[in-house]
Structure 1
Amino acid sequence: MNTQDTIISFAKKTISEEAQAISNLESLIDNEFSEAVQNIHNSQGRVIITGIGKSAIIASKIVATMNSTGTPAVFMHAADAIHGDLGNILKDDIVICISKSGNTPEIKVLVPLIQNFGNKLIAITSNKQSFLGEHADYVLHAYVEKEACPNNLAPTTSTTAQLVMGDALAVCLLNLKGFSSKDFAKYHPGGTLGKKLYLRVSDITAGNEKPQVSHDANVNSIIVEMTEKRLGATAVTDNGKIIGIITDGDLRRMLTNNSSFEGLTASQIMSPSPKCINDDAMAIDALEQLEEFGISHLLSEKDGTYRGIVHIHDLMREGIL
């Protein structure tokens, strides 16, 4: 077997072994898991998540997931906890401790201290019979038979299992809270994801020019309007109401089909009944319409009145596309 085949074989084996371990977790979700979720949901405090080594990295990621889905969470490194960071734990907080073995020295020191504080302790561990497993109020059994590492040493499958168990917790809490896409947008206002959730058509049209001509406008005035407003199109309006659209393509077809454009008006060139969208609609909805109809422009309206143009380049610029 050559090097390339060996690499591909190892990669597929790793994915297969981890996928099987994750699949096995499903059978370990029990009433204890449900009770742990309900305790977090009913708590007036936060979730403190701790771990050591690679488990600490997983703990940090679960904290990020919970915070972004409406469950206040704080990361506390197990080693730092016994050197002052225990002050992070408040009266009503629930502590989640992550450890594959459940028997590391730091965990054995930390667990009794948490118990002395009187906080509920949830364990995510592969070993229910460990020190952590036996002293926790609830055990989420993230059991794995072996690591994907050929030496069965490097945390690979075990940390994946911990992460999935954390995701399961977060998703259950999300559902109990009735956490919606609007709530999600509050915690993700930046970047492409946030824009997909909160950016509206009006946010785009407000920054664009608003090209429009009357139904009896001549070709010269149409070209001037489209050139000055630089959106590659203009609305044709009558008392503020949209009656058509003229695009660069419409102008090219007009020049191809007519030896002279003298006397032509907007009503003779325009495409009637153009695709429109409400100015209050989400920008992502505008993208869906543009893609569905294979067009580059949408006219925006509100209460039957023309408000502006959304060009597909606007959505590209905003990172929606």
Structure 2
Amino acid sequence: MNQMPQDKIMNRAKNIIGIGKHIVRMEAAAVAALEQLMDDQFEKAVEMIFSCKGRVVISGIGKSAIIAQKIVATLNSTGTPAIFLHAADAIHGDLGMVQEQDVVILVSKSGESPEIKMLLSFIRGFGNPLIAMVGNLQSVLARQSDVVLNTTIDQEAGTSSMNSLAPTCSTTVQLVMGDALAITLMEMRGFSSDDFARFHPGGTLGKKLYLRVQEVYIHNEQPQVTPETALREVIIEITSRRLGATAVTDEEGRLLGIITDGDLRRLLEKEGLHPGLKAKDIMTTKPKTVEPEALAIEALDLMRVHDITRLVVTSGNQYLGFIDLNNLIREGII
């Protein structure tokens, strides 16, 4: 089998990368141009949705329908109730989804698709406020809508007129316009991280927003010695509890210090482990601590800042336990 010469392979690779970068530049330029298209119509759209007593119903056909679904998902997750209505399904029975107090957004590049034009006539008949997200300001959709969000582009991404046919820049611009709507509405609603966590309870994102230290450390052992505990017993406590450290506390359980397996190794290398040593002789007296009510992600940030793998959990100065890096890995925080 003949193999392609190395210089041709390299030229082909450069051409592939060059095409990819060209497409990225074209789409980036389309998004940058969108900023200049945002005017008082954007403000009217946001105010219309913000004052809506119902939901935002978003519809489209083809690739625009896929973008509409993503915008619906973003709105729902940021505090604005929204549903997706496929333009083709709408004219075959799904129009019943549209309620009297809903705002409708129709997403279309041309604004002239047969399904969009038919759906448009029905929505106008219902009397619902109608927002067009459209790339053709002379279209039927633009002319018959209450508010028009201009998503006009110069051309789709490609290296020639023949491969600039697929929706690329147009759908990217629609997506960004949808994000602009959603985040602006989120800001107006005062939507907080706690609200976001309530809507995203699953997965890594949700855990970062709601999982607290007290839900994690309670599953760990609670290694603990007193200042007078002999070195041998300190080592046994650290080894048996399998957390690589032990707290040093007084009789009331107040935290006095911490001893880690790293402390023991460094002591061994420097001075040796003398049998007469006690916990108070080798403990670190100001260990890094975290409150049980803190978010687990805050505990991770503390570990990263101080380049350590565990924190002592305390309430005030009362020793409660340990949380370590392995806990956070198992919980999917990292």
Alignment counterpart, residue 215 of structure 1, candidates 215, 227, 231: 227
Task: Show the 5 A alignment for 1:103-142.
Answer: 103-142=112-151
Alignment counterpart, residue 198 of structure 1, candidates 175, 190, 210: 210
Q: Are the equivalent residues in 1 in contact too, given 2:77–2:199 (CA < 8 A)?
A: yes
User: 2:237 matched to which residue of 1?
Assistant: 225
Ranges of 4+ aligned residues in structure 1 off by more than 6 Å: none
Q: Distance in 1 between matches of 2:60 and 2:215?
A: 44
Q: 1:260 to 1:122 in 2, by over 3 A?
A: closer
TM-score by length of 2: 0.93
Matched, 1:183 2:192: no
TM-superposed CA distance for 1:25, in Å, is 0.8
SS of residue paired to 2:216? helix
Q: Distance in 2 between matches of 1:38 and 1:263?
A: 75
Higher alpha-carbon deviation: 219-228 or 293-302 = 219-228
Task: Give the fraction of aligned pairs with identical amino acids, expressed as a percent.
Answer: 52
Letter in 2 for 1:315: L
Q: Distance in 1 between matches of 2:42 and 2:288?
A: 51
Q: Distance in 2 between matches of 1:9 and 1:263?
A: 70
Alignment counterpart, residue 279 of structure 1, candidates 285, 292, 295: 292
TM-score by length of 1: 0.97
Alignment size in residue pairs: 321
Q: Distance in 2 between matches of 1:260 and 1:47?
A: 70
SS of residue paired to 1:262? coil
TM-superposed CA distance for 1:113, in Å, is 0.4
Segments of structure 1 that go 5 or more residues without pairing to the other structure are none
Letter in 2 for 1:167: D
TM-superposed CA distance for 1:197, in Å, is 0.8
Q: Distance in 1 between matches of 2:272 and 2:117?
A: 90
Q: Distance in 1 between matches of 2:199 and 2:248?
A: 40
Segments of structure 2 that go 5 or more residues without pairing to the other structure are 1-7
Q: Distance in 2 between matches of 1:75 and 1:90?
A: 13
Letter in 1 for 2:29: Q
TM-superposed CA distance for 1:206, in Å, is 1.2
User: 1:241 matched to which residue of 2?
Assistant: 254
Q: Distance in 2 between matches of 1:273 and 1:132?
A: 67
User: 1:162 matched to which residue of 2?
Assistant: 174
SS of residue paired to 2:219? coil
SS of residue paired to 2:57? strand
Alignment counterpart, residue 57 of structure 2, candidates 44, 48, 69: 48
Matched, 1:64 2:73: yes
TM-superposed CA distance for 1:11, in Å, is 0.9
Matched, 1:311 2:321: no
Q: Distance in 1 between matches of 2:269 and 2:179?
A: 60
User: 2:265 matched to which residue of 1?
Assistant: 252
User: 1:99 matched to which residue of 2?
Assistant: 108
TM-superposed CA distance for 1:260, in Å, is 5.1
